[in-house]
Amino acid sequence: MIREPLIFELSDQEKSAFLWPPLDVPAPKEKLAGLPLRQEISDFPQVSEPEVVRHFHRLSRTNYSVDEGFYPLGSCTMKFNPKVNEKVAALSGFTGGHPLLPEDLVQGNLRVLKWLEELLKEITGMAAFTLQPAAGAHGELTGMMLIRSYHERQGHPRKYVLIPDSAHGTNPSSAHLCGYQVIEIKSNEQGTVDLAALREAMTEEVAALMITNPNTLGIFESNISEIADIVHQRGGFLYMDGANMNALMGRFRPGDSGVDVIHLNLHKTFSTPHGGGGPGSGPVGVSEKLEPFLPVPVVVQEGDRFRLDYNRPYSIGRVRSFYGNFLVVVKALAYILALGSQGLKEVSGIAVLNANYIRRSLEDVYYLQYTTPTLHECVFSDKFQRKYGVNNLDIAKRLIDYGLHPPTVSFPLTVHGALMIEPTETESKRDLDMFIQAMRKIAQEAAQQPELLKEAPHTTYVRRLDETRAARQPVLRWRPEGSDRE
């Protein structure tokens, strides 16, 4: 691949991207007096218009996106999302609605909020929802705040939160921020919660168990009802991380199995492009016991009208400005209405089918630590390749040379050298086969030409970085050679 130079390296002080005609009116100097106008910038790049356009166009072609290929990132659900939902969210009635408008002028928008809440209640089996949280981790934090507020109301906030070692990594942080100490629950040989360990750890000082279901191994916690009973017997709450809901829609309702709190990721499961820092939405569903503590305002329907209810004496207050990321809510509603109940069920079925197709196609060349049936993702390890001096990072870097995005590596921590793969429901068999063929070829290369993997990637602008050094000694500014400007 030809290396694209920096814009500074293309610069020539004799060039100009444009030429203004002579000013034919007096310059308004008096209007600009006293303003902090930027003066000439030393060494500012000077390029022609074709050069600057072609430079950034060529750089854009080096970006990998979901429009180009799939992201097999386990635990992240990086899937293609329908463009029509973006069109719906771009309607002027949605984009032009100011959050400070009076309720009479935003009845349609309030209806959207209430409509989605009702649909999410039906999908999850929960009693009530709030759409305020702006992301999954924010939803986790909100859920734990609700749990703590309830316990405080009872006069005993409790001290601990139990978290299985197969849970999402942000769960401990959410518990800690709410003032709890975390106790880890080890998994059993099947990769699910060890019920004996849970019974031993569950006391009256435990506020909640935070469980991810399906967990980060892609395994469904089939004992979820028994887990809920163990937690409830000691007065605790069962929190479920619902980031992997795309594996369950139409087939399992968490509320029916005793889950007290769940957060969802609208930007993963329900149609908003995920990645790049946002926007996101992490709605939280609760059981009846926790409904009085939901953030304000709550959308209330009275006949054909909707209003915002701030009179909630037990509420934890606001967790987000106004009503959350409203346009993400619009996209989620459009997604659910377009698919319907049968379509959502098909989504979960295809997500599980795709993941298991990859699992069965690779299990003879990559090691599976847990042989328990999995749902939407599968976790291999580099155990077979380590005997050739090749690790999971080498495999991931080599995959880039095949024009494919690598899977998640080194997570979950319960699998040493993990390769965590989630194809999602949007990928065709053709694309899955391309990925499978590349992974099998890489396994062959690891045995026959391990140096290819140790030096990969070979086709990118930037070769493999020293990640340890980059983390400890990051270079955050670039200084042109021979210049004193950063």
Q: State residue 276's pLDDT score.
A: 64
Categorize the per-residue pLDDT at 202 as very low, low, confident or very high, splitting at 50, 70 and 90. Answer: very high
Report the distance separating Cα 385 and Cα 417, nearest Å: 10
Torsion-angle region of 257 (φ positive above 0: left; ψ -120 to 50: alpha; else: beta): alpha
Q: Over the stretch 375-416, which tens digit does the pLDDT of each residue have?
A: 999 999 999 999 999 999 999 999 999 999 999 999 998 999
Q: Which run of H or of E encompasses 209?
A: strand 206-212
Q: State residue 169's pLDDT score.
A: 82
Report the distance separating Cα 4 and Cα 6, nearest Å: 7
| Integer angstrom CA distances of residue 191 from 254, 379, 418, 422 | 20, 11, 14, 17
Backbone angles phi, psi at 399, to 5 degrees: -60, -30
Residue 482 has pLDDT above 60, yes or no: no
Q: State residue 462's pLDDT score.
A: 80
Q: State residue 277's pLDDT score.
A: 63
Q: What would the mean pLDDT of 324-345 be, rounded to a whole number?
A: 96
Listed by start position, the domains of the chain span: 83-339, 340-460
Q: What would the mean pLDDT of 251-267 be, rounded to a whole number?
A: 97
Categorize the per-residue pLDDT at 183 as very low, low, confident or very high, splitting at 50, 70 and 90. Answer: very high
Report the distance separating Cα 191 and Cα 413, nearest Å: 12
Residue 483 has pLDDT above 60, yes or no: no
Q: What would the mean pLDDT of 99-106 be, rounded to a whole number?
A: 93
Q: What is the CATH number of domain 340-460?
A: 3.90.1150.10
Report the distance separating Cα 98 and Cα 387, nearest Å: 61
Instruction: Look up residue 381 and give its DSSP letter.
Output: E
When mean pLDDT is compared across 103-117, 164-178, 384-398, the lowest value belongs to 164-178
Residue 486 has pLDDT above 60, yes or no: no
Q: Over the stretch 415-462, which tens digit does the pLDDT of each residue have?
A: 999 999 999 999 999 999 999 999 999 999 999 999 999 999 998 878
Report the distance separating Cα 82 and Cα 91, nearest Å: 16
* Percent of residues, the chain, with pLDDT higher than 70: 96
Q: What is the CATH number of domain 83-339?
A: 3.40.640.10
Categorize the per-residue pLDDT at 38 as very low, low, confident or very high, splitting at 50, 70 and 90. Answer: confident
